[in-house]
Amino acid sequence: MKKSSTAEARVRRVRDGHSAEAEDVVAVEEPLEIRVVESRAGHEHSHSVAVTMRTPGDDFALAAGFLFAEGVVRRPDDFWRIEYCVDPGQEQEYNVVSVVLRDKVPLELSRTLRSFYTTSSCGVCGKATLDAIKVREPPTLPNTRPRIAAKTLAAWPDALRAEQSVFARTGGLHAAAIFREDGTQVAHTEDVGRHNAVDKVIGGRFLEDEMPLHDCAMLVSGRASFEILQKALMAGIPFVAAIGAPSSLAVDTAKEFGMTLVGFLRGASFNVYAGPARIA
């Protein structure tokens, strides 16, 4: 049986100077190892590419979204299958996912951003990260689409919160959602890690072969970091909104690649850090 996204915890609740034992619900956080399997001369070779702390659920979408954003896979037919795997002699814990590549798909792990970080002679800096994205050849974004009405944008935080069933029980998860121009919510995901939530929501669309998402926008429940902008860009999403603050490199990334970036989205109040032309 696969892991639950929540767990029970015994707590002592203190209210107005009084305390009592009670049951609480917390979000589950467990490691997920992502492996890529390639075929060479009739033999399969497995490579561990990442370990992330995540909330169980949508693990295949998480793996697919991560590998797509990192440039390891470019389309759903690059791999045969995605599956849970277990090493010989170990019990299945659903904490290892393998993505099995097709025979002729090259495995170029050296092109991922994480490899660039560790090998770049100039160190980790803004220019290094932006140059790394250019090497990956992200999709060209449309100049004016999607065009989102301010009134439509203002309704998105409440729409996302209404879908956060696990957050409502635990108060401990980030969320990401994809919206269309008319405000229709296409997909949403939750995870203890905000980057994982983005990988899950993008990975779900990737597995449905819907890339690039030129007519869509993405909302994240926390802050907008460089990695979130990078993942959106690789998915062809021109518009990113965050309920929290953006980082300086997120702003630089949005401006460099012609994206719209909104921060501090609280109802009718928000800041536009880049690409105001896409807001009606």
Tokens representing 189 are: 């995901």
Tokens representing 19 are: 């305390």
Tokens representing 64 are: 């697919």
CA pair distance 199, 207, nearest whole angstrom: 12
Tokens 């896979």 label which residue?
73
Q: Give the chain's end-to-end CA distance (angstroms, integer).
A: 48
Q: Of these residues, 85, 122, 125, 216, which one is catalytic?
A: 122
Residue 122: active-site member: yes
Secondary structure of 131-155 in HEC code, one letter for each residue: HHHHHCCCCCCCCCCCCECHHHHHC
Tokens representing 124 are: 């980790």
Tokens representing 252 are: 């630089």
Q: Which residues are catalytic?
A: 122
